[in-house]
């Protein structure tokens, strides 16, 4: 037992007063003469013993009453087992209220967000009105950075709403470290009120300040079940009007029960395109295929819907993608056009194919093409090399057929700009193409697959013969991929990523005097898929709250302008940060997009791109740490002054008082004082 005001114990010296009174209170007895005093002496002895006992009991009651009253004023308490001493003085208190989407789940007292706000109020009431308070949420708002009074803290708490922002527990602890670190000469307490999801609340990387007392306040939902759309992707990156496509949707079930025949709906530009149902086992995921046909060109806004309760923010999934009426391809030749390339592309409505001479190139129009083909010009000038370098690095695609005359110096100079290996001498030994990289995007859907979903080529497959080809220097590009190779393992076609673009290098011209490749059936899917995949792609969706970087296609910019992001069917609009790299432009949102949905990127009132944003799915997995698991994590931290306030029937205010002040005993000693006074009165009046 310890005392809050030990100086009051000096008043125990008052115990001497009743003792002195008792010692000096000598009663004088009157003598009465009687003839036979034998019986009188016996009565006198008995009365004297009873009187002495009565006086001692009264004295004891008085002493105990005074002692209990003095001890009550000294405010005795039993200190908490985890605190060595009571902390006194003014305090700075930082309280984190988790307002992420997972706090929409329901507890016995209501939604977790409301339960958390109630606990935050109880924490504030456990402190003195003169203490300072600071509110922290996932939004990291500027107005929450300052410390306020108890009354103002309650007003800020009333305004807290569920937010799309997601923060990890180390991020929250670092922020409280920084904000409380600015306060000097005060005791500091930090509270973390959360459901402590496993996805975001690991304390392994947390570094709490040792000068701060930390308290974890877990809140628990009744049910932690959730069904949500995790992601979506197309099986083919190519989108053309009238082309059938298949959309894959991954759906997760976070519950101990299996679900059957759950409907899922797909709409494109507000028109329903597909409807399906799915079943998913407990605590697992499934993928649903939604087939549909592209009907129109332009920006497509897609939405996937399922029905689930009570967490509904992840029941909608937004995505967007462009469908172009055609892909522009430019073939650069020396003088004569290539008959094989003309036969492949000229009559295809998907490809807008054009030819030009190497001496008549309009450099200003190069960036309007998705794919450039160098059809074996005799020489690549330094000016053309620089423009091609800019084109590729900005996201363009380039196919290089080597010269038929054997003069490769200008080609090698150009390829060295791209950090790619160049051409060596000509190998005149006849060989066949012996290997096809079936894992590449060029050939992944060209051949039929077996029941296991794999492509197995027959051993006697007829592949084209190569009469002669160029050898290449040793490999210097780490991201290089061999797509076709010869019998002696020399590459016939390689692809390499250069910044944002891709380069495809053949080791023989598209000439039947060099190889039978231009006349072979594999020529068609190879060049056609290269053309289709050269379409500039962008992510199907972005995540709200992130520092999203958006790349604008190179052919959409001519000068620096202000770009705007506007949410469709809303007044919300932001101006992102604009950065220009050569001919490319990136837009950075810096976390300004907080709401899921569709957004249009516009420049000079013209829409240049359509974007889709989805809420972060980290909050969708409602699996949380138990109190035992949190204690295990706490035991690994070097900090000792950290506690878990478990849910109890008593109020959180009382629990904090008991931790900070210990268990107060002054009421008990007041009761004992009254009891001893009552005993004294009873001894005086009843014991005659």
Q: pLDDT, tens digit, for every residue of 48-63?
A: 666 777 778 888 888 8
Q: How confident is the model at residue 555 (pLDDT cuts 50, 70, 90)?
A: very low
Instruction: Express as a percent the part of the chain with pLDDT over 90.
Output: 45
Q: How crowded is residue 357: how many other Cβ atoms within 10 Å of its Cβ? A: 13
Alpha helix stretches (DSSP H) within 142-212: 150-158, 169-181
User: Residue 380 burial (CB < 10 Å; 0-12/13-18/19+)?
Assistant: buried
Give the pTM: 0.72
Give the three-class secondary structure for 620.
helix
CATH topology of domain 327-531: Rossmann fold (3.40.50)
Model confidence over 268-290: pLDDT tens digits? Answer: 999 999 999 999 999 999 999 99
Residue 279 phi, psi dihedral angles, 5° rounding: -125, 145
Element (H, E) at 568: none
Could you give the angle at the alpha carbon of 103 between the alpha carbons of 118 and 233, nearest 5°?
Answer: 170
Q: What is the dihedral of CA 93, 96, 97, 98, to 10 degrees?
A: -170
Residues 304, 302: Cα–Cα separation, whole Å: 7
- Secondary-structure percent of the chain, ordered helix, strand, coil, rounded to 5: 30, 30, 40
Domain boundaries for CATH 3.40.50.410 within the chain: 91-223+622-661
CATH assignment of 91-223+622-661, among 3.40.50.720, 3.40.50.410, 3.40.50.2300, 3.40.50.880: 3.40.50.410
Model confidence over 243-267: pLDDT tens digits? Answer: 889 999 999 999 999 999 999 999 9
CATH topology of domain 226-324: Immunoglobulin-like (2.60.40)
Q: How confident is the model at residue 520 (pLDDT cuts 50, 70, 90)?
A: very high
User: Residue 509 burial (CB < 10 Å; 0-12/13-18/19+)?
Assistant: buried
What mean pLDDT do residues 434-462 have? 77
- Nearest residue to 130 (alpha-carbon basis) of 90, 93, 95: 90
Domain boundaries for CATH 2.60.40.10 within the chain: 226-324, 542-614
Model confidence over 192-250: pLDDT tens digits? Answer: 999 999 989 989 888 899 889 899 999 998 888 899 999 999 987 778 788 889 999 99
Residues 615, 613: Cα–Cα separation, whole Å: 7
Are 139 and 99 in contact, with CB atoms under 8 Å apart? yes
CA atoms within 13 A on the CB side of 310: 15
Residues 414, 419: Cα–Cα separation, whole Å: 9
Tally helices (H) and strands (E) across the chain: 12, 36
Give the three-class secondary structure for 331.
strand
Domain boundaries for CATH 3.40.50.880 within the chain: 327-531
* CATH classification (class only), 542-614: mainly beta
According to the model, what pLDDT value does residue 504 have?
96
Are 470 and 423 in contact, with CB atoms under 8 Å apart? yes
What mean pLDDT do residues 426-446 have? 88
According to the model, what pLDDT value does residue 314 have?
93
For residue 477, pLDDT beyond 80: no
- Nearest residue to 526 (alpha-carbon basis) of 387, 654, 650, 340: 340
Q: What is the mean pLDDT of the chain?
A: 86
Residues 568, 595: Cα–Cα separation, whole Å: 11
């Amino acid at each position: 037992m310890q005392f809050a005001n030990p100086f009051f114990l000096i008043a125990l010296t008052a115990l001497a007063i009743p003792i002195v009174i008792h010692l000096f209170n000598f009663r004088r007895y009157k003598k009465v003469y009687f003839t036979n005093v034998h019986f009188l002496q016996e009565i006198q002895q008995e009365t004297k013993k009873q009187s002495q006992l009565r006086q001692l009991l009264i004295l004891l009651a008085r002493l105990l009453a005074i002692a209990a009253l003095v001890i009550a004023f000294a405010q005795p308490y039993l200190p908490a087992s985890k605190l060595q001493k009571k902390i006194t003085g003014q305090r700075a208190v930082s309280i984190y209220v988790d307002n992420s989407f997972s706090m929409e789940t329901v507890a016995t007292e209501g939604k977790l967000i409301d339960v958390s706000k109630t606990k935050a109020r109880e924490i504030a009431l456990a402190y003195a009105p003169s203490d300072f308070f600071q509110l922290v949420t996932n939004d990291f708002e500027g107005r929450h950075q300052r410390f306020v009074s108890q009354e103002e803290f309650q007003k800020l708490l009333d305004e807290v709403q569920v937010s799309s922002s997601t923060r990890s527990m180390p991020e929250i602890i670092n922020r409280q470290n920084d904000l409380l670190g600015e306060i000097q000469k005060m005791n500091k307490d930090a509270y973390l009120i959360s459901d402590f999801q496993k996805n975001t609340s690991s304390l392994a990387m947390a570094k709490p300040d040792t000068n701060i007392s930390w308290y974890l306040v877990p809140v628990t939902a009744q049910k932690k079940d959730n069904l949500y759309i995790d992601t979506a992707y197309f099986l083919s990156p190519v989108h053309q009007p009238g082309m059938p496509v298949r959309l894959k949707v991954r759906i997760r079930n976070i519950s101990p029960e299996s679900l059957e025949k759950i409907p899922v709906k797909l709409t494109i530009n507000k028109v329903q395109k597909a409807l399906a149902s799915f079943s998913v086992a407990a605590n697992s995921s499934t993928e649903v295929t939604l087939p549909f046909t592209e009907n129109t060109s332009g920006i497509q806004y897609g939405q996937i819907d399922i029905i689930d309760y009570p967490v509904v923010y992840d029941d909608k999934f937004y995505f967007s993608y462009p469908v172009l009426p055609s892909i522009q391809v430019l073939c650069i030749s020396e003088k004569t056009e290539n008959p094989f390339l003309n036969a492949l592309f000229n009559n295809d409505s998907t490809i807008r194919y054009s030819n030009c001479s190497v001496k008549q190139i309009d450099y200003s129009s190069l960036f309007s093409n998705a794919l450039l083909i160098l059809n074996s010009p005799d020489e690549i000038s330094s000016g053309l090399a620089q423009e091609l370098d800019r084109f590729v690095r900005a996201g363009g695609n380039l196919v290089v057929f080597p010269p038929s005359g054997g003069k490769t110096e200008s080609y090698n100079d150009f390829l060295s700009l791209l950090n790619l290996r160049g051409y060596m001498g000509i190998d005149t030994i006849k060989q066949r193409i012996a290997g096809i990289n079936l894992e590449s995007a060029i050939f992944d859907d060209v051949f039929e697959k077996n029941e296991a979903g794999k492509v197995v080529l027959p051993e006697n497959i007829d592949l084209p013969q190569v009469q002669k080809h160029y050898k290449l220097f040793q490999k210097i590009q780490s991201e290089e991929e061999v797509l076709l190779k010869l019998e002696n393992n020399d590459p016939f076609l390689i692809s390499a990523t250069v910044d944002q673009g891709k380069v495809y290098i053949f080791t023989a011209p598209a000439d039947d005097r060099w190889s039978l490749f231009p006349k072979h059936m594999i020529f068609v899917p190879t060049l056609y898929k290269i053309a289709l995949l050269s379409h500039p792609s962008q992510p199907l969706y972005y995540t709200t709250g992130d520092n999203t970087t958006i790349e604008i296609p190179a052919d959409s910019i001519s000068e620096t302008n202000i770009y705007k992001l506007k949410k469709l069917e809303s007044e919300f609009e932001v101006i992102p940060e604009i950065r220009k790299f050569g001919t490319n432009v990136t837009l950075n949102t810096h976390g300004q997009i907080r709401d899921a949905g569709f957004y249009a990127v516009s420049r000079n009132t013209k829409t240049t791109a359509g974007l889709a944003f989805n809420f972060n799915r980290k909050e969708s997995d409602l699996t949380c740490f138990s109190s035992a698991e949190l204690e295990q994590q706490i035991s690994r931290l070097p900090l000792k002054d950290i506690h878990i306030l478990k849910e109890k029937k008593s109020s959180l205010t009382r629990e904090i008082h008991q931790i900070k002040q210990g268990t107060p005993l002054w009421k008990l000693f007041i009761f004992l004082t009254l009891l001893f006074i009552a005993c004294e009165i009873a001894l005086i009046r009843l014991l005659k």
